[in-house]
Amino acid sequence: MKEMTAKDSLVSVIVPTYNRAHLIVFTLDSVFRQTYRPIEVLIVDDGSHDKTEEVVRDWAAQQCVGDERFSLQYVRQNNAGPSAARNTGLRECSGEFIQFLDSDDIVHPEKLAKQVTAIRRNSVDFCVCNCRTFGSSQSAAGSVRDFYSRSHHLDDFPSQYPMHTAAVLLSRRVVERNGPWPEYLSAGEDFEYNFRMVARGAKGIWLNEELLQVRTHDSPERIQARPLATRCRSMYLGLATMEIEAVARGICSKRFLNSLGIRAYQYYRHTRAEGSLAEAGVFFRYARPRLFWRTKANLWLRQVLPTPIARVCAAAKGLVGGRKR
């Protein structure tokens, strides 16, 4: 990355993209509508073969006029994956703060302003907001990802994962300490990158506000487009890399291993549902020795008795929290 310039308040928004000519304008519009300035946008085209470049340049020609505090740079590279694209963006950016976005995300107009303020006011390295998923249109709202209410303890990070790449605003200092994105991972690279950040001592703050919308796709447009075996190898390598990082940092507690086991068990369920028993078995064997016996029992009960347990939990919650306010 470039050395810090005089623009210490600059936010660099790094957007890797691949064949998103039909969607990237919505992301750019949401960034342009930010109440915060100054902003530089770096579009890193990971070898698109549609009209992404034409769309981006036309948008910039219309919007980046008369606003000296908003700039856009278009960078093209050979197809190498999202991690390589983000690393390219990091080498080109100049901001004091870094915002990674996917090229189909929509950000709330106040996202950058609120998160920059939170980082400065609390003297932390990063800030996380909640987000909401949506489908083919923003009116088709999906579920809320409430990162604020999840456990933020390092031991629970693998199972809870209290962040999303685009929900985080990062200070430049923590990005420089954290090093590059893992280009050897083709899936789950954000999981490894963000864990590495907190494992190395980064301090953050969580806002109980929805400031991001994450698009979901019915078609296999994202990670699901990669072969299952490739994804599984990457996810397994990501788990192993995080465990090695935890051992090296002296933070590999039994509770952390249990949390890793829960994440591996989730991968097992997903890959088994996709019909690959061989890949699922790899995750099951990884999870089994790391899980507490009570966690194993709980996961088994949830699998074979989901409805009764849900009813019991709901009844218990009603008994405990049934008092009138």
Per-residue pLDDT, 307: 59
How many CB atoms are located within 10 Å of the residue 312 CB? 11
CB 135 within 8 A of CB 216: yes
Per-residue pLDDT at 224: 41
- On whether residue 307 sits in a domain, the answer given is no
Q: Could you tell me whether strands 204-215 and 168-171 are parallel, antiparallel, or unpaired per DSSP bridges? A: unpaired
Q: How many angstroms separate the CA atoms of 264 and 285, rounded?
A: 9
Using pLDDT thresholds of 50, 70 and 90, give the confidence band for residue 66.
confident
Question: Which CATH number do you get for residue 99?
Answer: 3.90.550.10
Domain match, 247 and 276 both: yes
**pLDDT for position 312:** 62
Domain shared by 97 and 125, yes or no: yes
Angle at 170 between CA 165 and CA 176, to 5 degrees: 110
Structural domains of the chain, count: 2
Same domain, 264 and 197: no
Banded pLDDT at 309 (limits 50, 70, 90): low
Q: Is residue 129 part of a domain?
A: yes
Check: CB of residue 175 under 8 Å from CB of residue 214.
no
Q: What is the pLDDT of residue 315?
A: 56
- Verify cis geometry, omega within 30 degrees of 0, for the bond prior to 38: yes
Residue 299 lies inside a defined structural domain of this protein: no
Place 218 in a pLDDT band, splitting at 50, 70 and 90: low
Tell me the β-bridge partners of 43: 15, 74
Residue 322 lies in a domain: no
Nearest to 257 by CA among 297, 299, 291: 291
For residues 180 and 261, membership in a common domain is answered with no
Give the single-character DSSP code of 21: T
166 and 240 both lie in a single domain: no
What is the distance between the alpha carbons of residues 201 and 204, in angstroms, rounded to a whole number?
A: 10
Same domain, 175 and 250: no
Quote the pLDDT of residue 176: 97
- Is the CB of residue 101 less than 8 Å from the CB of residue 86? no
Q: pLDDT tens-digit profile of 266-293?
A: 999 999 998 889 999 999 999 999 999 9
**pLDDT score recorded for residue 56:** 98
The answer to which of 16-20, 123-127, 269-273 has the lowest mean pLDDT is 269-273
Final residue of a structural domain among 215, 238, 253: 215
More confident residue, 100 or 227: 100
Residue 107 sits in the same domain as residue 39? yes
Q: Which pLDDT belongs to residue 52?
A: 97
- Same domain, yes or no, for 43 and 175? yes
Amino acid at the residue 133: T
pLDDT tens-digit series, residues 35-44: 999 999 999 9
Does residue 139 register a pLDDT over 70? no
Mean pLDDT score across all residues of the chain: 90
pTM greater than the 0.75 cutoff: yes
What confidence tier does 5 reach under pLDDT thresholds 50, 70, 90?
very low
For residue 234, give its domain range: 227-291
